[in-house]
């Protein structure tokens, strides 16, 4: 298969599959569940926390399941996991308030492993940055699209609790198409392995060795990701409320249109990283781009709070800055980390380590909002966490660069063969 055909097939399969998965994960956030509460909390917050709790548990399971998964199990795993999530949405429609929140735990529990299974088709290739950019752009666009579809169903009389199940049903054909395309992707060839290092399932002992070899760097990277993921998740889950606070009430199309320029810009920037063949240079470019993303969020939020930036432009710009940093985690950061240090492993371990703590941070932010900052509007709270995320991402990225420069010197000066140190 030619490089162009492989890229087209892989991008199409990964994009369509992950885009379709969002139709089983995010539509419920398009509803507001007004006047419904549970345990003194707004019911939408209960639902969001319930799904994120399941999703977080899924990420911790994924550290083992995804990193150990063999290629032959990938396709049936995707279909089985999403099938379970869809059945949970059926229960969400059947079981009445205030008991159906449990269904969203069951919905999130399988879905958290889909990313790693899909990404396994793409990693370890000379084109991985391009392929991963296509995959990662799906979640930028998909969330807005499926929420627009969900709001459309509500406006046409579908009950809020049944809307997520109906939205998922609409995307089943595209899911099957995406999975079929993934099944056609050949494994990495010898040139890929020479350029990016062979990717293999990792046992518990191998995961422990990897962690101990890079422990301080992993902690720094996880902290940055916690800030990014909590911020992205809050912006995504409460986009309807934030846009309403900005003066865009009853305009569901803004949820899609605002994300399209972000997706295009971030996709192009990420895909261009394929031009950097040197793994060392590419690895440190990752840190620069992540830091720039945090800086963009910080600066534009200060301008917005001082009324020197249009609200819609600010919402789009902070989305761009956040996704610029977030996408580099999902496209080339771990890919080039493994390639630079020539560690025969897979991205699933690192990605799910970050994701598991990232979603714990997401739950923490939502609980903080409800119990300690409940008097703040959604918009005001979002501006505050924008400042926090920007500072954390910028500062910790710079610290990460210093750590890995020192770590690289020790690796290069080691007298043992390069693999023996791991």
Confidence category of residue 255, pLDDT binned at 50, 70, 90 = low
- What confidence score (pLDDT) does residue 415 get? 37
Q: Is the pLDDT of residue 141 over 90?
A: no
Long-range contacts formed by 67-72: CB under 8 A, 24+ apart? 67/116, 67/201, 67/202, 67/207, 67/346, 67/348, 67/349, 67/352, 68/201, 68/202, 68/203, 69/116, 69/117, 69/120, 69/201, 69/348, 70/201, 71/120, 71/187
Long-range contacts formed by 268-274: CB under 8 A, 24+ apart? 269/324, 270/129, 270/132, 270/133, 270/136, 270/327, 270/328, 270/331, 270/332, 271/129, 271/130, 271/133, 271/134, 273/129, 273/133, 273/331, 273/332, 274/126, 274/127, 274/128, 274/129, 274/130
- What confidence score (pLDDT) does residue 225 get? 94
Average pLDDT in the 140-160 region? Answer: 87
Q: Is the pLDDT of residue 349 over 90?
A: no
CA 1 to CA 355: how far, in whole Å?
33
- Low-confidence winner among 58-67, 257-266, 308-317 (lowest mean pLDDT): 257-266
DSSP, res 187: P
Q: How far lies 143's CA from each of 6, 362, 372, in Å?
A: 27, 17, 28
Q: Percentage of the chain surpassing pLDDT 90?
A: 44
- What confidence score (pLDDT) does residue 106 get? 96
Q: Is the pLDDT of residue 419 over 60?
A: no
CA 210 to CA 267: how far, in whole Å?
30
Q: Is the pLDDT of residue 249 over 70?
A: no
- What confidence score (pLDDT) does residue 251 get? 66
Query: Token pair 């099944």 is at which residue?
Result: 183
Helix (H, G, I), strand (E, B) or coil at 71: helix
Q: How is domain 3-413 classified at the CATH fold level?
A: Growth Hormone; Chain: A; (1.20.1250)
Residue of higher predicted confidence among 75 and 329: 75
Q: How far lies 178's CA from each of 13, 16, 270, 415, in Å?
A: 4, 5, 22, 47
Query: Token pair 């088709």 is at which residue?
Result: 121
Average pLDDT in the 164-180 region? Answer: 96
Confidence category of residue 413, pLDDT binned at 50, 70, 90 = low
- What confidence score (pLDDT) does residue 3 get? 81
Confidence category of residue 252, pLDDT binned at 50, 70, 90 = low
Query: Token pair 């050949």 is at which residue?
Result: 186
- Compute the C-alpha angle 374/380/384, nearest 5°: 95
Please give the full DSSP string across 151-162, using - where no structure is assigned: HHHHHTT--TTT
Please give the full DSSP string across 110-172, using - where no structure is assigned: HHTTHHHHHHTTTSSSTTHHHHHHHHHHHHHHHHHHHHHHHHHHHHTT--TTTHHHHHHHHTH
Residue of higher predicted confidence among 355 and 79: 79
- What confidence score (pLDDT) does residue 333 get? 85
Q: Which of 183-192, 212-221, 260-269, 332-341 has the highest mean pLDDT?
A: 212-221
Q: What count of other Cβ atoms lies within 10 Å of the Cβ of residue 288?
A: 13
Q: What count of other Cβ atoms lies within 10 Å of the Cβ of residue 301?
A: 24
Q: Which of 291-305, 306-320, 354-368 has the highest mean pLDDT?
A: 291-305
- Low-confidence winner among 92-106, 132-146, 352-366 (lowest mean pLDDT): 132-146
- What confidence score (pLDDT) does residue 277 get? 83
Residue ranges per structural domain of the chain:
3-413
In degrees and rounded to multiples of 5, residue 356 shows phi and psi of: -60, -45
What is the overall mean pLDDT for the chain?
87
- Low-confidence winner among 145-154, 378-387, 410-419 (lowest mean pLDDT): 410-419
Average pLDDT in the 333-355 region? Answer: 83
Q: What count of residues does the chain have?
A: 422
Average pLDDT in the 328-339 region? Answer: 82
For the stretch 103-121, pLDDT in tens is: 999 999 999 999 989 999 9
Q: Which two tokens stand for residue 131?
A: 């392929």
Q: What is the sign of the dihedral through the CA atoms of 27, 66, 119 and 16?
A: negative
- What confidence score (pLDDT) does residue 416 get? 45
Residue 264, C-beta contacts closer than 8 angstroms, at least 6 positions apart? 137
Average pLDDT in the 34-50 region? Answer: 85
Asked if 179 contacts 20 with a C-beta cutoff of 8 angstroms, the reply is no
- Whose CA is closest to 248, among 144, 352, 114, 389? 144
Residue of higher predicted confidence among 3 and 94: 94
DSSP, res 96: P
Asked if 114 contacts 82 with a C-beta cutoff of 8 angstroms, the reply is yes
Query: What pTM does this model have?
Result: 0.78
For the stretch 209-247, pLDDT in tens is: 889 989 999 999 999 999 999 998 888 878 878 888 888
Q: Is the pLDDT of residue 31 over 80?
A: yes
Q: Is the pLDDT of residue 1 over 70?
A: no
Please report which helix (H) or strand (E) contains residue 99, including its range: none
- Whose CA is closest to 17, among 125, 186, 150, 139? 139
Q: Which two tokens stand for residue 249?
A: 């009430």
């Amino acid at each position: 298969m030619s490089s162009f055909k492989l890229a087209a097939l892989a991008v199409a399969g990964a994009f369509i599959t992950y885009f379709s998965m969002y139709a089983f994960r995010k539509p419920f956030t398009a509803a507001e569940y007004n006047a419904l509460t549970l345990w003194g909390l707004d019911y939408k917050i209960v639902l969001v926390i319930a799904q994120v709790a399941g999703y977080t548990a899924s990420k911790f399971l994924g550290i083992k399941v995804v990193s150990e998964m063999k290629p032959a199990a990938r396709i049936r795993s995707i279909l089985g996991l999403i099938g379970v999530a869809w059945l949970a949405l059926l229960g969400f429609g059947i079981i009445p308030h205030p008991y159906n929140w449990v269904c969203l735990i069951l919905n999130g529990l399988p879905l958290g492993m889909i990313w790693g299974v899909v990404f396994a088709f793409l990693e370890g290739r000379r084109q991985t940055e391009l392929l991963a950019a296509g995959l990662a752009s799906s979640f930028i666009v998909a969330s807005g699209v499926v929420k627009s579809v969900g709001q459309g169903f509500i406006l046409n009389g579908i009950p809020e609790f049944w809307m997520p199940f109906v939205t998922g049903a609409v995307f089943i054909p595209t899911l099957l198409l995406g999975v079929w395309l993934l099944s056609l992707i050949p494994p990495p060839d010898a040139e890929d392995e020479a350029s990016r290092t062979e990717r293999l399932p990792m046992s518990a002992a191998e995961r422990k060795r990897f962690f101990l070899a890079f422990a301080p760097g992993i902690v720094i990277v996880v902290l940055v990701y916690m800030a990014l993921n909590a911020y992205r998740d809050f912006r995504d889950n409460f986009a309807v409320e934030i846009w309403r606070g900005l003066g865009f009430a009853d305009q569901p199309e803004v949820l899609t249109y605002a994300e399209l320029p972000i997706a295009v810009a971030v996709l192009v920037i990420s895909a261009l990283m394929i031009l950097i063949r040197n793994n060392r240079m590419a690895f440190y470019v990752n840190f620069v781009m992540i830091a720039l993303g945090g800086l963009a969020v910080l600066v534009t939020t200060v301008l917005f709070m001082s009324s020197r930036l249009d609200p819609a432009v600010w919402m789009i710009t902070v989305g761009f800055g956040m996704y610029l940093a977030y996408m580099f985690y999902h496209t080339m950061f771990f890919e080039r980390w493994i390639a630079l240090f020539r560690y025969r492993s897979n991205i699933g371990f690192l990605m799910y380590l970050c994701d598991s703590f990232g979603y714990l941070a997401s739950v923490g932010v939502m609980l903080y909002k409800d119990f300690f900052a409940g008097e703040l509007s959604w918009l005001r709270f979002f501006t505050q966490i924008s400042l926090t995320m920007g500072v954390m991402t910028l500062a910790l990225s710079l610290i990460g660069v210093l750590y890995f420069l020192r770590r690289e010197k020790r690796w290069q000066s080691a007298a043992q063969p390069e693999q023996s140190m791991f």
